[in-house]
Structure 1
Amino acid sequence: MAYNDSRRAAIRLYKKLKYGWIWATSTFLGNFILALFIASLFNNLGYEDDANFVFFLAVLAIGLWVTEAIPPFAVGIFIIAGLLLGFGTDFILQDHKTPVEMYLGTWTSNVIWLLLGGFFLAEGMSIASLDRSLFKFTLDKFGPDPNKLLLGLMLTTAVGSMVMSNTATTAMMISSILPLARLMGKDSEYTKALLVGIPAAATLGGMGTIIGSTPNAIAVGALQEKGIYITFVDWMVFGLPTALISIFLFWKFLTKKLGLGQIRLDLSEFGFKPTNINVFERNAVLFTLFVTVSMWLSEPFHGIPIAATSAIPIVLLTLFQVIKAEDVRRLPWDTLMLVAGGLALGIAMVDVGLTDIIMEKISKLPIPMVGVAIVFAIIAVLISNIMSNTAAASILVPLGLSLPGIWGIAVPLIVALSCSSALLLPVSTPSNAISFSTGMVEQKSFRPGGLLMIVLGPVLAFITVLLYSLLFH
């Protein structure tokens, strides 16, 4: 029987290697043709050639990400190559003014450095077995029941993401549950729940405080320029309920969708007391973690950007010889390629005025202000799924400020919270990218929860922010 199973597995692998390219090639060509067709319709609207080109590239990239015709990181490289071909040569666009360096610069952007610092922290915690200690802490508090344990891990992640980088929080929590995920196996529904639920909790938890997510700070800063001041506590009045309700509903959705009530966890094989612990390495990682998190939390006082302080774990963990050359080679560099491509696409959409075109069409819609606010929220979550939510907030928040009356206060806040509801793709948020980089969760696993939050996120943001605006302004 074992021989037959092995033979069948070998045959399936052979067919995949032999004929998989046919499926991938036909899917890629299908996406290319569909993108050309949709772009031709857009071209008839009479916009500039550079906007038409970026629109085509965006449609093609979304199709490739959704259908997985090529790996997600390859789509990221393809986007940058397409932008360089379009704006760096005369083969496609004749009169282009965009400097291509801005697209290549995404490889060294703040998000990339923040991700890399998170990767080093996660790797250091894994080497020093601190990840298992963190998991054991959550297990002691919430018990071995699968549903309660998942909720506990999501809440722990959310609280961490409210006061520190969502990326770093996800990196630590994913590292802590990876031993359990490997024990359960890649095909386990509980593994999927952990690797989808934890990054979602980190992203949604960022709604809770001003420093929890960059779009929050953008909205507060923009309102302050208008003479409207929102304090840390003010934000938590509407941000914290939105975050907690979103996380609870997302958790309920996962438990029902994946049928976690039928799962039984056997943690008897899960070693909480690893042997041969190197005390120096453990203390070195704890020291590095303390210094890094302290610098992140105290950014308002010293003014050093979070991305810059992300160099601390890279330097200290290699200086203390906790992370060596062979450990660095194991880091998920393909995830950085994926994120760099997504950032480049977002920059291009802004630079050629594609996002302005969208907002111009929205402003001309014959709908009341309530409808405009809803449209803002929906656009915010949709474009945040395919580009940086920071960039999305930077575009939409100033536009929202121009709305009359109370809507000029409410819409920027709604936009900020909606930008943190983007969970559809691995590229939608660095937290998703970190989870995807483990190789234990497929891209399609993010879709059900991502679609849920496209609807639920803007609705909750609209309700909580409108109540806050009516009561306090």
Structure 2
Amino acid sequence: MDYNDSRQAAIRLYRKLNLGWIFNTSTFTGNFILALVIGYFFDKLGYADDANYVFSLSILAIGLWITEAIPPFAVGIFIIAGLLLGFGTDFILEDHRTPVEMYLGTWTSNVIWLLLGGFFLAEAMSQVGIDKSLFRFTLKKFGSKPDRLLMGLMFTTAVGSMVMSNTATTAMMISSVLPLANLMGKNSTYTKALLVGIPAAATLGGMGTIIGSTPNAIAVGALQEKGVNITFIEWMIFGLPTALLATYIFWQFLSKSLKIKDVNLDLEKLSQTDAKVKGFKKNAVIFTLIVTIIAWLTEPIHHIPIAATSAIPIVLLTLFQIIVAEDVRRLPWDTLMLVAGGLALGIAMVDVGLTDIIMEKIEKLPIPMFGVGIVFAIIAVLISNIMSNTAAAAILVPLGLALPGIWGFATPLIVAMSCSCALLLPVSTPSNAIAYSTGMVEQKNFRSGGLLMIVIGPILAFVSVMIYSLIFGSA
């Protein structure tokens, strides 16, 4: 008892003194020293100074992403600042001053505008109460049988996450099913199925489109730097079937492992009352959503870049006064900062030849090239379970881009999709964290499904991307 009291007192004192900065500062310093030490030994291999500098910066960025000594978005800004300091001045690299516009240009890349358009759509859909509408639509179409209702909710979530951020979709769908979860109770297997299945569907569904998951956008942006353009509908050729199949497999797993067919649902007790949103606003959002998606899907016909058509939701939603200044301030700008930094790091790794150095070593491994692709997929899903999948993609996509032949095209796509299969822990994805924060699901409830997707996810990603690459890909 005394021990517990003293421990609680210490915790209260720690919080009162706000000493978290000491831990963050020491962790940042430790990562910095580790990057210097590893960079020192890398320099002994005889590579150029610029390659050694980018290598050390990469090690530091990876360490900061893993330990979260500073927020992930701050790491993105730090990367760009480090590149500007190294290549835009003589302070670190003498006689290596090069144009740094390509690093700053990531802030205005097509990927950034594409994600921004998606953010505006997500915020507007949440404001007009489409979450309640989706729940009623799902209930109407799939009925009240527990397994079919779960399937409907999961597929509705998966489709929603293809045009909205996974986090926003999960938050929207979790809020719509919480009344049902509260009715069933914390110990109900159906509650567990709902709060594990919905975030999983949001994450897996993100594989379906370019904007469905940030790693997808990173892969597309990296390939664009290489001169390979993938349109919105081209991604859906392999992404959509993979996302739907992965969601179906996960639904089957939950249905059989939790035996939800035997659950008795009494949906009549659920209150159907919710706040009414003016018809104009909801219709305006639906109109904007339809116009934007049509513009994205028909890019091969009108040849207007996705980045340009992403202005449609930004203009229309503000014109209709659905999104105002206060709403814009709430958008996840931190994600854009992280993506910009990740893209800049990837460009630098290619520019100084660091990816060529790493790929030269990989090619000497006693495994065939398709084995290398599989290794990339496995590494992607494993590290995405313990760190941001965006950060994982930012690290691995530039390396995959340097592989020879068709593998330099396919591997970045495989990596991006594998990053969306990380479901093992509550911290693996923001979607899992949202479900866990309800207090109605435990960490162990994510474990079995997460292990399943560590195995199944990379396989699905590898097979679908390779089929697409062999038919449509470019070496």
The TM-score normalised by the length of structure 2 is: 0.70
Between the aligned partners of 1:66 and 1:135, the Cα distance in structure 2 is: 36
Structure 2 residue aligned with 1:30: 30
In 2 relative to 1, CA 102–136 (structure 1 residues): closer, same or farther, beyond 3 Å?
farther
Structure 1 residue aligned with 2:354: 354
Superposition deviation, residue 247 in structure 1 = 3.4
1:203 aligns to 2:234 (yes or no)? no
Superposition deviation, residue 160 in structure 1 = 6.0
Structure 1 residue aligned with 2:175: 179
Superposition deviation, residue 367 in structure 1 = 3.5
Between the aligned partners of 2:380 and 2:278, the Cα distance in structure 1 is: 47
1:44 aligns to 2:44 (yes or no)? yes
Between the aligned partners of 1:465 and 1:332, the Cα distance in structure 2 is: 29
Q: How does 1:50-449 map onto structure 2 within 5 Å?
A: 50-141=50-141, 151-159=151-159, 166=162, 168=164, 170=166, 173-174=169-170, 176-177=172-173, 179-180=175-176, 193=196, 196-206=199-209, 242-248=242-248, 273-368=273-368, 370-375=370-375, 396=400, 399-401=403-405, 412-413=409-410, 416-423=413-420
Between the aligned partners of 1:134 and 1:180, the Cα distance in structure 2 is: 8
Q: What value does the CA root-mean-square deviation take over the aligned residues?
A: 5.1
Between the aligned partners of 1:269 and 1:60, the Cα distance in structure 2 is: 54
Superposition deviation, residue 309 in structure 1 = 0.9
Count of aligned residue pairs for this structure pair:
433
Letter paired with 2:88: G
Superposition deviation, residue 363 in structure 1 = 2.2
Between the aligned partners of 1:217 and 1:336, the Cα distance in structure 2 is: 13
Structure 1 residue aligned with 2:3: none
Q: Is the 8 A contact 2:381 2:422 kept in 1?
A: no
Structure 1 residue aligned with 2:14: 15
Q: Is the 8 A contact 1:335 1:434 kept in 2?
A: no
In 2 relative to 1, CA 130–366 (structure 1 residues): closer, same or farther, beyond 3 Å?
closer
Q: Is the 8 A contact 1:373 1:411 kept in 2?
A: no
Superposition deviation, residue 293 in structure 1 = 1.3
Superposition deviation, residue 178 in structure 1 = 5.5
SS of match in other structure, 1:24: helix
SS of match in other structure, 2:419: coil
In 2 relative to 1, CA 246–157 (structure 1 residues): closer, same or farther, beyond 3 Å?
same
Letter paired with 1:16: R
SS of match in other structure, 1:168: coil
Superposition deviation, residue 314 in structure 1 = 0.9
Q: Is the 8 A contact 1:216 1:413 kept in 2?
A: no
Superposition deviation, residue 174 in structure 1 = 3.8
Superposition deviation, residue 313 in structure 1 = 1.0
Letter paired with 2:207: L
Between the aligned partners of 1:383 and 1:99, the Cα distance in structure 2 is: 33
Q: Is the 8 A contact 1:423 1:450 kept in 2?
A: no
Between the aligned partners of 2:22 and 2:116, the Cα distance in structure 1 is: 35
The share of aligned pairs that are identical, in percent, is 56
Between the aligned partners of 1:169 and 1:42, the Cα distance in structure 2 is: 39
In 2 relative to 1, CA 328–288 (structure 1 residues): closer, same or farther, beyond 3 Å?
same
Between the aligned partners of 2:25 and 2:434, the Cα distance in structure 1 is: 24
Superposition deviation, residue 295 in structure 1 = 0.8
Superposition deviation, residue 414 in structure 1 = 6.1
CA deviations over 1:359-378 (Å, ceiling 9, x no partner): 22222334345545545655
Range with bigger deviation, 263-272 or 317-326 = 263-272
Q: Is the 8 A contact 2:35 2:59 kept in 1?
A: yes
CA deviations over 1:271-318 (Å, ceiling 9, x no partner): 654334212212211211121111111111111112211111111111
Letter paired with 1:205: G
Structure 2 residue aligned with 1:229: none
Superposition deviation, residue 37 in structure 1 = 2.2
In 2 relative to 1, CA 391–137 (structure 1 residues): closer, same or farther, beyond 3 Å?
farther
Between the aligned partners of 2:420 and 2:367, the Cα distance in structure 1 is: 28
In 2 relative to 1, CA 463–175 (structure 1 residues): closer, same or farther, beyond 3 Å?
closer
Letter paired with 1:177: M
Structure 1 residue aligned with 2:4: none
Between the aligned partners of 2:56 and 2:433, the Cα distance in structure 1 is: 26
Q: Is the 8 A contact 1:57 1:82 kept in 2?
A: yes
Q: Is the 8 A contact 1:122 1:171 kept in 2?
A: no
CA deviations over 1:297-345 (Å, ceiling 9, x no partner): 1111111112211111111111111122222222222222222222222
SS of match in other structure, 1:277: coil
CA deviations over 1:135-156 (Å, ceiling 9, x no partner): 3323444567888666544433
Q: Is the 8 A contact 1:133 1:272 kept in 2?
A: no
Superposition deviation, residue 61 in structure 1 = 1.4
CA deviations over 1:55-108 (Å, ceiling 9, x no partner): 111221121111121122222221222112112221111132542222222222
SS of match in other structure, 1:304: coil
In 2 relative to 1, CA 318–11 (structure 1 residues): closer, same or farther, beyond 3 Å?
farther
SS of match in other structure, 2:164: helix
SS of match in other structure, 1:420: helix
Superposition deviation, residue 358 in structure 1 = 1.7
In 2 relative to 1, CA 265–59 (structure 1 residues): closer, same or farther, beyond 3 Å?
farther
Range with bigger deviation, 380-389 or 75-84 = 380-389
Letter paired with 1:83: L
